[in-house]
Each structure stands twice: as C-alpha cells, then as structure tokens.
C-alpha cells in the first residue's frame, strides 16, 4: 500500500512500444497509475476484471471501448466497466491517469 506519494517518488516502468507507467497511490480497493505514451503508441485491446477510469492529463488519444471510438483531450475522462474490451492509440504524446478498482495486483507483484 502507498498512501502518500509525492511527485518525485515512484519509478517509470518501460512497457515497450513507446509506453511506460508509474504507479502512484493505492490500497486494496483502488489504484492510480500514470501511463505515458509517445505519439503513435498504442494500448492494445484488452479487458480485465477491474473497473477503470482514464483521465487525460496531456496529449491526445483515440480511445475505444467495445468498438466505440472517441478522441480524448486534456481534461476528458472515460469509464471502462469491468470485462469490457478497450484500448487506445496516442495521436500526440501524452499521459493518462488510470484509476482502477480494485487495485491491480498484477502491477505490483
């Protein structure tokens, strides 16, 4: 569990393909994760048993959920229900803040 997390804390984990993530505050019920994308990078289609909210901190993304696509810009957010197939493509380099409930044990273990 990480209750208080300062900006300078946490390390970026390279995921390949022009993406990286940094785990922020979390407990057993919820987790926040920054995900940085280079222009053209993609978060491939996937699903998981967690409900997810994505908030666009910077950049521009085409986000798709179960075949429905939208362009998302800073300040925009989206909810992905548990089990829904989703992904995104980065149009211009940026960062998403992803919030998961419950927390993603696979990200810390």
pLDDT at 74: 98
Is domain 13-108 given the CATH code 2.60.120.10 in the classification?
yes
Per DSSP, the residues of 19-73 read: EEEEEEEE-SS-EEEEEEE-TT-EEEEE--SSEEEEEEEEEEEEEEETTEEEEE-
Q: What is the pLDDT averaged over residues 1-5?
A: 87
pLDDT per residue as tens digits for the range 50-96: 999 999 999 999 999 999 999 999 999 999 999 999 999 999 999 99
What per-residue confidence (pLDDT) applies to 2? 85
Q: Give the pLDDT confidence of 31-58 residue by residue, as tens digits.
A: 999 999 999 999 999 999 999 999 999 9
């Amino acid at each position: 569990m990480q209750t208080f997390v300062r900006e300078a804390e946490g390390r970026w984990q390279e995921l390949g393909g022009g993406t990286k993530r940094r785990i922020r505050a979390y407990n057993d019920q919820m987790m926040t994760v920054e995900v940085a994308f280079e222009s053209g990078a993609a978060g491939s289609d996937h699903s998981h048993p967690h409900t997810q909210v994505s908030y666009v901190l910077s950049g521009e993304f085409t986000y798709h959920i179960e075949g429905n696509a939208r362009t998302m810009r800073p300040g925009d957010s989206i909810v992905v229900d548990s089990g829904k197939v989703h992904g995104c493509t980065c149009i211009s380099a940026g960062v998403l803040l992803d919030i998961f409930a419950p927390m993603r044990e696979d990200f810390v273990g």
